[in-house]
Structure 1
Amino acid sequence: MKTALRFHIRKQIILWSCIVALVYSAIASTIYLWGIDDSTEYYMLKEAKRESLKIAAGGYVANNSATDFSAYYLGYSSLPSIIQDEFPEAILVPNQSTFYENNQVSIYVLPYRINLSTTSSTVLYVVHRYDKYDDDLQPGMPLPELLIMLIMGTLLVAYIASSLLVSSITKPLFSLLDWARSLESEDPTKIQQADANTLRFSEFSDISEQLYLSIQQVMETAEREKQFLNATSHEIRTPLSVIFAALDILDRKDIPDAIQPKLMKIRRSSTKIQNLTESLLWLWRDENLPLDLSSQRLHTTVQDIISDSRLIYPNSNTEIHCDLDASLQIIENQPLLEVAIGNLIRNAIAYSPNGIIHITGNTQNFSIKNNYTDASRDSGFNIGLYIVKSIANKQQWGFSTCCDNNTFTARISWTNDAQGV
């Protein structure tokens, strides 16, 4: 299921805001801890220098209590055992603080070398003990809570910003959508260009303008095709009328029996052209005019089409099996029925020159199946099937095709208007 644009924009803004907030929180927390370490070491060095001067002058340590915040010890052996356990002498580097944290207590130890004389020296250990419980009692907000507030504030700002952004984008987008829906109007003259003021953004205006120009081009092309079909129909009907008139005159004459089959072929071919012309004109009309329906013998129609197709493909060795009841009749428009079935049969013969064709049908559907070679498949089942599909769509017939194991199957299902009699 596709996501709406407004939800996508809001989700992306909130997602990236969360990522930025988390990254910023991690950076702030890291810098904060670095600052604590550096500032602690700085003040421990200052204390070490101050106490070293006192020791050099008086030879004593001002405070050696391990429970106070700051404590000073001369020599490693004077350190409390708990500190010696956590800070082996080998890991302590002069003038650099070393950190240890246990539960709520953090301990910093900084060794500082003192030269008592030109021949002797000792090490002063500055110890800072920091209890986080005491920090909780201090006024102000702890760092974790501050970071949580930062993230929540960022999310709130992101939600408000995304809502405003979505509203500013989707409102003109919905205007564009409403205009696009108005293009479905049945009357092409009612189609108007979108109002640029309601679209707000130049990109949306460009889209609407391009759509409008494309529709105008399509309408002009459709109108030219319509005029062409009307002109073609007129030009085809004129010679057909002459042919039918000539055939009617010949029917009144005493024509030899040997000529009669040829005249019959001429009449059937002319009728086929007339049916095809009427079908194409009907397909490309905008309005869906009612058709003349009559009872059609499906078996007779198929046999006539097969006979005509044999003349078109005289070198074809196609074997045709027609499994249709001779008494089967359906109520349909004759030109459309002959054009649809004729295209299916001629396609099958054309693309199965040495194959087998199976034709079946009843009051509900008509089916034709034929095998084909890879070479004939490359030629396609193009215009003929396109015409059949167009007729089926406009007549609301069911039409389907299937290719399986070099076998092509086409099937037409009649609607309720095509009931058997």
Structure 2
Amino acid sequence: MNEKRTIKVALLGAGSVGSQVARLLLEQADEYERRVGTRLELIGISVRNVDGRRDVELPRELYTTDAERLILSADVVIELMGGLHPALELITLALESGADVVTANKALLAHHGAELFELAERVGAQLYYEAAVGGAIPIIRPLRENLGGDRVERILGIVNGTTNYILDRMHTRGDSFEESLRIATDLGYAEADPTADIEGYDAQQKAAILASIAFHTSVPVDEVHREGITSVSIEQIEDAKRAGFVVKLLAICERVAAPGDGPDRVSARVYPALVPEAHPLASVHGGNNAIFVEAEAAGSLMFYGAGAGGVETASAVLGDLVAAARRHLLGGPGLGESMDADLPVLGVAEIDTSYQISLEAEDEAGILAGIAQTFAEHGVSVATLEQAAPATDEDGEVAEDARATLVIGTHRAKEGSLSKLVDALAQSPAVHRVNGVLRVEGANA
């Protein structure tokens, strides 16, 4: 009886995730052998500097600066370097050599996923990327496999823990955005440069990946509308609470029916939105992530858990590694991504949504009529209206220059029409200032 060969594993990167992957592979080698049916051997870890500081103490002889040589000796390559280059070139080399690849590189997949999937299919290799979206949350495999026979209609995702922590603190503690960001940075939720998180770039990349899988269509990251949370004020948070909403930064992927007999379209977008307090996403606190999926047959599903963290993300990486190792034992070509639907991607102006608009107006008779006229001219109807009492002085008298604060909820309309309405309100003589605008999502869940 022939002894089964060892599966040789190469690791690219030894940061917070990579070091935990290496530690677990070494410490639990016997357990992985029982799960897979053969030994998984970590043959090396590619790093820029073999003497650099690491989160985990690992055998020094594993480190190398020769990534290419390491790749060409491996059966499975785990890429945890991040960034576009040289990750793209190294993954390409790995696939062309016949190795399977496990990656957590959301930026690379969002920008170059289509070409890498095509390459993997052409050479018979497999590209695994469960950890690219949602950290420890299993979402890629459920979308690809468990829901592969269903029709996914919509995804609402809280896919960035930093922004969720900031918005949750603003909601529960009443802290300003600036104070919440400072605390998030002190606690390690936010990077020293938080731009990718708070401006929505991280969530944009993840939305492109989720939409591509869910709708079997390649969705370029540049076609995912993106807005961050830097403009969300504590006043908007308070307005949302009074109206029964919670503000969350959402990645939204949606199948949109075409008029007539045309093909469905796809929308992918990222922005801060109002979520009803009764919606499951409203109860996602701290730095956690959650992804809410609406499918035709399966109905509503939610995947919840840690969206980041070294050991948490390592869990998803190692799950992919086990799958890759089992595939090597069984043999046969890798399974390509299903991107053949080729549905058109809608611009954000074409989607249907609703707004909550906060504005200041002169506290005078006839002002509401003027604002209502502006709504009518743009074909948008008012769903709710809340008027805050004007400010008073220390004697309880209304100040001469006091203004009324109006919070107006709209019915659903085209995003383009709603955007033009907000521009018109800002120019209206009846309106002193538009304080803020947030969309409403998940109201029908």
TM range (shorter): under 0.3
Question: TM-score with structure 2 length normalisation?
Answer: 0.19
Greater Cα radius of gyration, structure 1 or 2? 1
Normalised by the length of structure 1, the TM-score is: 0.19
Q: Which has the higher contact order (CA 8 A, sep 6+)?
A: 2
Structure with the higher helix share, 1 or 2: 1
